[in-house]
């Protein structure tokens, strides 16, 4: 029997992360999402980035159709970006758990007032995924 790990076992996985670009401030964005009848929005405690110790405001959103939960995280924190590769992305949509987000959620958010664009981001590299792995 071997006691060695394979590279696949050491690799962290995370569902697709979506980027949202909007001129809306976080309170207004939360309000716009909550105005949609399919969502329940709760303010969530600030999320601290793994490296840089930066606090990022966030919302916990429940999609009432299937009870899917996701986080909306402000990319720009108190000291750094949560996902530094995407400097122009204002917010990140992240599934809680290992399931992918229901595509209907993305369609709804894309159509909300004040949302410029909502799109899938490239898969994080191993060192970048540390911020996201703490969300599961």
Min mean pLDDT across 25-29, 49-53, 72-76 is at: 49-53
Beta strands at 55-63 and 39-48: parallel, antiparallel or unpaired: antiparallel
Average pLDDT, the chain: 83
Tens-place pLDDT, residues 77-115: 999 888 888 999 999 998 887 778 899 999 999 999 999
What would the mean pLDDT of 119-123 be, rounded to a whole number? Answer: 88
pLDDT above 50 (res 8): no
**Hey, where are the domains in the chain?**
15-133
Per-residue pLDDT, 95? 86
What is the C-alpha to C-alpha distance for residues 33 and 13, in angstroms, rounded to an integer?
28
What is the C-alpha to C-alpha distance for residues 31 and 38, in angstroms, rounded to an integer?
13
pLDDT above 70 (res 19): yes
pTM as predicted: 0.82
């Amino acid at each position: 029997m071997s006691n060695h790990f394979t590279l696949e076992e050491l690799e962290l996985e995370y569902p697709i992360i979506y980027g949202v670009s909007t001129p809306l401030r976080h309170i207004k964005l939360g309000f716009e999402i909550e105005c949609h009848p399919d969502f329940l929005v709760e303010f969530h405690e600030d999320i601290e980035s793994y490296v840089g110790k930066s606090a990022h405001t966030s919302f916990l959103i429940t999609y009432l159709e299937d009870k899917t939960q996701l986080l909306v995280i402000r990319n720009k924190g108190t000291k750094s970006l949560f996902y530094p590769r995407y400097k122009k992305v204002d917010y990140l949509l992240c599934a809680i758990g290992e399931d992918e987000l229901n595509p209907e959620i993305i369609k709804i958010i894309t159509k909300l007032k004040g949302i410029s664009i909502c799109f899938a981001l490239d898969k994080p590299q191993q060192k970048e995924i540390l911020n996201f792995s703490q969300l599961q």
